[in-house]
Structure 1
């Protein structure tokens, strides 16, 4: 079964919303800025990809937002944009044919940080009853499923920096193998907090640059670590037949997906690049590209 993309959504430090994200990216707008969410002085890290124009009331709603960690809020907003772009509605897809594979590298870490501090300072009885449903990494998928009445698979992939890509690939497989007609896929993260910055800094993984324009240089000779960011990206994947039947605008087609593991080290990739090359070869082979 052929699989197409019919909708996209984004919440990003350099543009809130798909259109703003694309336009700003093409114009070279950098979303990295000095950390303002907490005093990061002791961590030795001074910049991050913070989102400073997110309004929970616009899409998620204040009442729902109080029961979601920020990573889930970002996820729901990105998915709503993708859903709307795809022209989907309750009448356009059967709930049993609509699924969700939406991941997060760590889930609601800000909620975990806040609630552990509250328990330590004020006692166990003061921990929020929403602590667990706000913190666990599959609740973005769960909240998305509830919002769009998606009754096919609802699950999450957790593969660190590859989470969003793996989510899209696994959603593609669901449709290709005939298990669903429409899938909501993507990833979300909201870990610009003291715990995450301190942890990555202790791992010596983060850039210590104070200049936002010199902090993220992944392919540069003078690269010196990555910059922690936050946000969400979402796609609507659909079988070609389903999309054509309802007259949807087709944005792209997914024709191949490859996933491998280096099985090498907890943080370092295999320096030969063999695993990455094999993943590409698998995708090319599935696509039938010569």
Structure 2
């Protein structure tokens, strides 16, 4: 493979997911194919009462009590995951040139939990009950702004909002900034905390959420009995640098981001294109930028939501595009649920770990295929040891947004 653009080095990863805060617990959780869905007491009385929440997350301890109470839960996740990614990359914010550091953060809903709380107080007690800190807590850009403040990053600070593809779009945008010379270090990722009464009620009314009686089998991507996703929460971040800069810093390179692509379905507000044309176009763009062809792809970390329409369209695209050399396929949403705007960033990080460790996690919750999904090589039953020369992470979102990221080994 000869890349059309110089590859970018992934030098740091940070994760906060329903498998636990930290990259280690998350990676182990998906390797174990352990479903994190559980009955959620905070959703009692709603049409769907299960979720995938981040466990053992103490914002006061992890961030600092005097600061954390002002921030939305999504920002809590972002701060913890971003700090882990920066430390993993061997970077010290007190020593870097902040003007050459970019922050790109994706989110589907911003601080929606804080917004719902403010709206409820207004409805019950009037305008005087709304906190002066409400807007800084729920405006969509504020998580990125808080990261910039926390890390002293004074370069481009941007927010991407492409629904469930937001985190992947953040990595795409960060790659463009690095290639354009607008920064030397880019912290890119996504965060969301949408397990709220209004969000759950809205998704349930759309018929998007699983209503399976047993939480352990509710999230089952590509399974013949899938009936929707389980709402999750969390954050994922990567540190991206030019390959030459990472080599000069003499830091371990987890993987290389060798291609990015984005394309729209222009089809329907919430349903994917039946043939996943936008997602296919994004994949082809990412491969072209990587200087690769479909035969070079060994693995796909799929969007794989567990809804009937998404899995059918995505499986059909994978079968059609890779007809002569099927890649291994997995979906992390069986274990982690759907973390919404964080999903693309979390799954990109997991793809990096798959390339680095030569191990493809199994798809939790999968038991049996159907005619829509049964012709792809879905890893299930246990992780698969596999050398991965080129891997794709695919993401799609309401509005017809699609992003594909291509990763290769770092050395």
Normalising by the smaller structure, the TM-score range is: over 0.9
Match of 2:225 in 1: 222
| Residues 252-290 of structure 1: per-residue CA shift (max 9 Å, x gap) | 110100100001001100101211111100000001014
Determine which of 250, 254, 258 is the counterpart of 1:251. Answer: 254
2:36 paired with 1:31: yes
CA distance in 2, matches of 1:94, 1:2: 22
2:24 paired with 1:16: no
Compute the TM-score of the two structures, normalised by the length of structure 2: 0.68
- CA drift at 1:39: 3.8
| Residues 12-42 of structure 1: per-residue CA shift (max 9 Å, x gap) | 1112210110012101122111113x2432x
1:1-290 paired onto structure 2 within 5 Å:
1-36=6-41, 38-41=42-45, 43-90=46-93, 92-290=95-293
8 Å contact kept, 2:13–2:88: yes
Q: Helix, strand or coil for the counterpart of 2:292?
A: coil
- CA drift at 1:170: 1.0
Q: Helix, strand or coil for the counterpart of 1:11?
A: strand
CA distance in 2, matches of 1:63, 1:91: 21
Q: Helix, strand or coil for the counterpart of 1:129?
A: coil
CA distance in 2, matches of 1:28, 1:149: 37
Q: Helix, strand or coil for the counterpart of 1:60?
A: helix
8 Å contact kept, 1:142–1:154: yes
- CA drift at 1:91: 5.6
| Residues 77-103 of structure 1: per-residue CA shift (max 9 Å, x gap) | 000000110110136531111010011
CA distance in 2, matches of 1:66, 1:24: 29
Q: Helix, strand or coil for the counterpart of 2:226?
A: coil
Higher normalized strand content (fraction of residues) = 2
Q: Which has the higher contact order (CA 8 A, sep 6+)?
A: 1
- CA drift at 1:143: 0.6
CA distance in 1, matches of 2:43, 2:109: 22
8 Å contact kept, 2:102–2:185: yes
Match of 2:368 in 1: none
Hey, which bits of structure 1, 4+ residues long, moved more than 2 A?
Answer: 90-93
- CA drift at 1:249: 1.4
Structure 2 segments unaligned to the other structure (5+ residues): 1-5, 294-411
CA distance in 1, matches of 2:147, 2:62: 12
- CA drift at 1:135: 0.3
8 Å contact kept, 2:43–2:49: no
Change (3 A) 1:243 1:91: farther
- CA drift at 1:105: 0.4
8 Å contact kept, 2:108–2:162: yes
8 Å contact kept, 2:261–2:284: yes
CA distance in 1, matches of 2:43, 2:284: 45
- CA drift at 1:57: 2.4
Aligned positions, number: 288
Structure 1 segments unaligned to the other structure (5+ residues): none
CA distance in 2, matches of 1:251, 1:226: 30
